[in-house]
Amino acid sequence: MKIALNITKTIQDLLLGFMPEGTASILAMVIIALIYLAIFSVAGLMLVLVERKVAAWFQLRIGPNRVGPWGLLQTMADALKLVSKELTGTVKADMFLYNLAPYFVIVSSLMALAVFPFTQEFQAFDINIGIFFLIAISSIGVIGILLGGYASNNKFALIGAMRSGVQTISYELSVGLSLLTMILITGSLQLSEIVEVQKNGWLIVQGHIPAVIAFMIYMIAGTAETNRAPFDMVEAESELGAGFHTEYSGMKFAYFFLAEFINMFIIAAVAATVFFGGWLSPFGITDSIPWLGVFWFLGKTFALVFLMMWFRWTFPRLRVDQLLTLEWKYLLPLNLLNIVLMALIVWLGLTIQL
């Protein structure tokens, strides 16, 4: 694993003038971690506000408009309310696991953010197994959900946690296979190299119809991975209350709530990087002005986030049997066929180079 950021190198060089190299390296990593934690918090609060505004737009109502201009400070007020709330729990809960569970969810989301290339220079860690790392880290979050549901000593929380385990294990297959389909074109798992390959055209264009199918499957499976409607059987309010986090309050509840929105951002960011060129501009602007790449990256990501929100406020919730039937009888076989088609296209050298 190599540090790939000029900003990281700059911070490390500044610290070397005041302290030994080992101490400077550790402190530089701590500073970068705090920067990403700030990005994490701001992005989460902003996405909550965007979700509420998008929901209002779809339902022909106004949405938050009281706190701050146009309601922009509403999520800040909600965050302050959650900070001030009492932390409660059930009497017979396993308190160690109960308190540990939210940190599994929040830390796994934060670790996933570290490998994204926001621009050519703004990437915390550029590791040669970037996609594999993301898939592995995304699997850790469900451990927190399972622990929270089990440790709460609540039947509804336990049912929600068990549903989450089944759903995540099922749809991870389609997420992984759809990404593997695109890796056949790039020949690399490293996110920076995947972006570089797309200087001749986005992978969704280079890969013909199999790439479009892979993108569609990825977005469906990715939405299911985040436990969002129409795949929100984990938190089905009409039957399970709040699902696995029924017994959580205050900041512990906020961790679960915030992680859901950051996971939505992560799913969209992976799609923007793998299918749509990441920070690259279709007009070559980012070649001459690299810092503009962050706006292209965030623009593509938020467009896909909007698509996921569109799913939520358009489609009704699936039943559990429909949820699993969709994956095992339709998406998985289609994915396996699609990866064979992509392998044939790459083998025959039929990828499009613009």
* Residue 326: closest CA among 195, 179, 223: 223
Angstrom distance (rounded) from CA 169 to CA 126: 27
The DSSP line for 43-103 is HHHHHHHHHHHHHHHHTTS--S-SSSGGGTTHHHHHHHHHHHS-----TTS-HHHHHHHHH
Q: Is residue 73 part of a domain?
A: no
pTM: 0.91
Q: Where are the beta strands (DSSP E) in the chain?
A: 2-3, 125-126
Note whether 117 and 273 are within 8 A (CB): yes
* Residue 331: closest CA among 185, 251, 253, 224: 224
Q: Is residue 76 part of a domain?
A: no
**Whole domain around residue 119: which residue ranges?**
92-347
Q: How many domains does the chain have?
A: 1
**Residue 260 corresponds to which tokens in the numbers above?**
């859901």
Look at the alpha carbons of 225, 227, 232, 233 in this order and tell me if their dihedral is positive or negative.
positive
Q: Hunting for tokens 């909007």 — which residue is that?
A: 306
Write the single-letter amino acid at 229: A
Note whether 266 and 109 are within 8 A (CB): yes
Q: Hunting for tokens 């929600």 — which residue is that?
A: 160
Q: Is residue 25 part of a domain?
A: no
Angstrom distance (rounded) from CA 156 to CA 236: 10
Q: Is residue 270 part of a domain?
A: yes
* Residue 99: closest CA among 111, 83, 108, 87: 87
Helices 95-113 and 21-58, axial angle in degrees (round to 10): 90
As averages over each run of 10 residues, the pLDDT of the chain (354 residues) reads: 54 79 82 85 90 94 91 91 84 89 90 86 83 90 91 90 89 94 92 90 90 96 90 78 84 89 94 93 67 88 95 89 93 96 90 68
Angstrom distance (rounded) from CA 347 to CA 68: 57
Q: Is residue 120 part of a domain?
A: yes
pLDDT score, position 349: 85
CA 307-310-311 angle, to 5 degrees, is: 95
Q: Is residue 160 part of a domain?
A: yes
Q: Is residue 87 part of a domain?
A: no
Q: Is residue 342 part of a domain?
A: yes
